[in-house]
Amino acid sequence: MRTGQFNSIGGHLGNMAFMSRENNEKDMENILKQHQIGKTQLWEKFIDQFARIHGKEFIYEEQTIENFMPIFYYFLRDPRFFDCSALKGDLSIPSFNKGLLIIGGFGVGKTDIMKTFETLFKRFDGLRYKMFSTPSVVNTFESCGTPEDKSAFFKNMKTGTILLDDLSSEEIASNYGKTDIMKRVILERYDSRLLTHMICNFSNLEMDVVQTLQDLGDRYGSRVYDRLFEMFNIIVFKGKSFRR
């Protein structure tokens, strides 16, 4: 991909930015300078890391680039984030202070992209996050044998920035009683004002993002539904599955 293609998206929606965005952009500039990485270098590192992790090249198609751009700009704190077509600014006011809620069909690259950035940012203070698949989180909780184990589990889920992958695919946890682990984790992270990212698939064949959000509300309750819009920038990945 040519560097010039990153400039195809126009100016930002300044009136939609939060007051603290300017400070966040300066913080991000300092982080990137500290690690001696710019936009071009981040792109090159992403492409190299993507191939290393997944054993395949990143697919250069108009739709994949459209899906990718808001993620790239978000981590750079680049104002062009606010103009990305995949960002649903009509559903949740965009902000660099919010995490990412990425919604899309099966096999469109949601997890692959975020796994690549997770690996790439492991040594980047201020950018790193830890990915957890929601079924694995449930399995870990169910393996807790003592109250101390459970306490350590929830402490771990409230540490740093995390990404919850495959949201709503998990079962209700069973460990001396039924517990909706993801509901508790999301609410506790909200109360602690911790940055969180999430990935989920469309809940309907029509690929209706509004219906998917409503279904998340049905799954986790109205308190979680109400907080989704305060916690997350909503990104919608479009396109066909690459697994076909």
Q: Write the pLDDT tens digit of every residue in 133-172.
A: 999 999 999 999 999 999 999 999 999 999 999 999 999 9
Q: How much of the chain exceeds pLDDT 70, in percent?
A: 84
How much is the pTM? 0.84
What token pair was written down for 37? 């990485």
How is residue 87 annotated by DSSP? B
Q: How many CB atoms lie within 10 A of CB 21?
A: 20
pLDDT digits (tens, 9 = 90+) for 49-60: 999 999 999 988
Distance CA 231, CA 197 (A): 9
Average of pLDDT values for 187-207?
Answer: 96
**Domains defined along the chain, listed by start:** 10-237 (3.40.50.300)
Which residues neighbour 33 within 8 Å (Cβ) at sequence distance 6 or greater?
none
206 burial (CB, 10 Å; 0-12 / 13-18 / 19+) is exposed
| pLDDT, tens only, 100-139 | 999 999 989 999 999 999 999 998 878 899 999 999 999 9
Non-local (6+) Cβ contacts of 146 within 8 A are none
